[in-house]
Amino acid sequence: MSAPAAAAIEGTDALRALSLELDAAFATLDPEGRLRLLAERVPGRTVFTTSLGIEDQMLTHLVFRAKLPIEVVTLDTGRLFPETYALWQRTEEQYGRRIKAKYPQADALEALIDDQGINGFYFAPEMRKACCGVRKVEPLGRALAGASGWVTGLRRDQSPNREKLDFVEFDEARGMVKANPLFDWTREEIRVFTAENGVPVNELHDKGFLSIGCAPCTRAIRPGEVERAGRWWWEEETLRECGLHMDASGRSVRARDGKPAPGDSAFETIPS
């Protein structure tokens, strides 16, 4: 085995062990303490990818207020709501910090639209999957390139298929520490925090849009529906995901016991 390969394995093993340590430590810390610990312990770059939803706005507030060395990045798919772009601007103005953006590759996006049309994602899960791959998954790969840590706003109560998340895990697919500092927070707790601390939030939340993604792919939820029911609502799959959170085999990490749940097959091979 070459020296670089051996060093890479050693680095991976160290990050895997660190993930276990941080997962145990998070249980006794508040979200800001968790972020501070990540910034202190994870070597190299740590990136927080924000969708500008309410939980991500809370994390952005904590990162910017404490001036933590965590990069805040968003994936601009080109199909976001006007309200989301307005919130993006308000957030930068309030905290005096930039939220960096990653965009789809122009050639790949042009090829996608030439192939399936501007709204082809409505016609088949595979076409929607391809759209997510070009607009979100590939840009995410560039956002995380070279980083050792990844912060997300995933929460246990967002949907039934997120109940088995950990505070911190080792992302085998990307070889990095993946942390969910708000894993054990409820939406109501986050709503109270943002209101009490003057954190800017998307005005669409008050109109029934609890989980906000691309405008053509998001609707307000109906009474009794789970938080993410408004995402890709026209598809029949019971565990709809965009492909950002995958395991080493390319399956949704929200699949129970490492296997896709019934109806989850559309998300097994999203390109990366």
Residue 175 lies in a domain: yes
pLDDT digit string (tens) for 52-68? 999 999 999 999 999 99
For residue 158, what pLDDT is reported?
A: 67
In a domain, 240, yes or no: no
pLDDT at 160: 57
Residue 259 lies in a domain: no
Q: Is 131 annotated as a binding residue?
A: yes
* pLDDT at position 162 over 90: no
pTM for the full predicted model? 0.84
Residue 214 is labelled as binding a ligand: yes
Assign residue 190 the CATH number of its domain.
Answer: 3.40.50.620
CB 128 within 8 A of CB 238: no
Q: Is the pLDDT at 138 greater than 90, yes or no?
A: yes
pLDDT at 49 over 60: yes
Q: Which residue has the higher pLDDT, 247 or 86?
A: 86
pLDDT of 75: 98
Q: Kindly list the catalytic residues.
A: 242
Task: State percent of the chain over pLDDT 70.
Answer: 81
Residue 232 lies in a domain: no
The domain of 198 spans 3-204
Would you say residue 218 lies in a domain?
no
Mean pLDDT of the chain: 86
What average pLDDT does the segment 2-26 reach? 78
Structural domain count of the chain: 1
CA distances to 16, 45, 51, 196, 214 from 80, in Å? 35, 27, 10, 27, 5
Phi and psi for 46 in degrees, rounded to 5?
-120, 135
Integer-rounded Cα radius of gyration of the chain: 18
* Contacts of residue 93, Cβ cutoff 8 Å, sequence gap at least 6: none
Q: Express as a percent the part of the chain with pLDDT over 90.
A: 76
Kindly indicate the confidence band of residue 10, based on its pLDDT and cuts at 50, 70 and 90.
low
Answer yes or no: is pLDDT of 7 > 50: no
Q: Is residue 120 part of a domain?
A: yes
* Chain segment 82-111, per-residue pLDDT in tens: 999 999 999 999 999 999 999 999 999 999
263 assigned binding-site residue: no
Do the beta carbons of residue 62 and residue 32 sit within 8 Å?
yes
Candidates 162, 206, 169; CA nearest to 186 is 162
Q: How far apart are CA 64 and CA 76, in angstroms?
A: 20
> Between residues 14 and 158, which one has the greater pLDDT?
14
The answer to whether the annotation marks 174 as part of a ligand binding site is no
**Can you tell me the distance from the alpha carbon of 169 to that of 249, in angstroms, rounded to the nearest whole number?**
16
112: in domain: yes
The verdict on residue 268 lying in a domain is no
Alpha carbon of 228 to those of 11, 126, 161: distances in Å?
36, 20, 11
Q: Reply yes or no on whether the pLDDT at 77 is more than 70.
A: yes
- Tally of CB atoms within 10 A around 134: 20
The residue count of the chain comes to 272
Q: What pLDDT sits at residue 161? A: 55
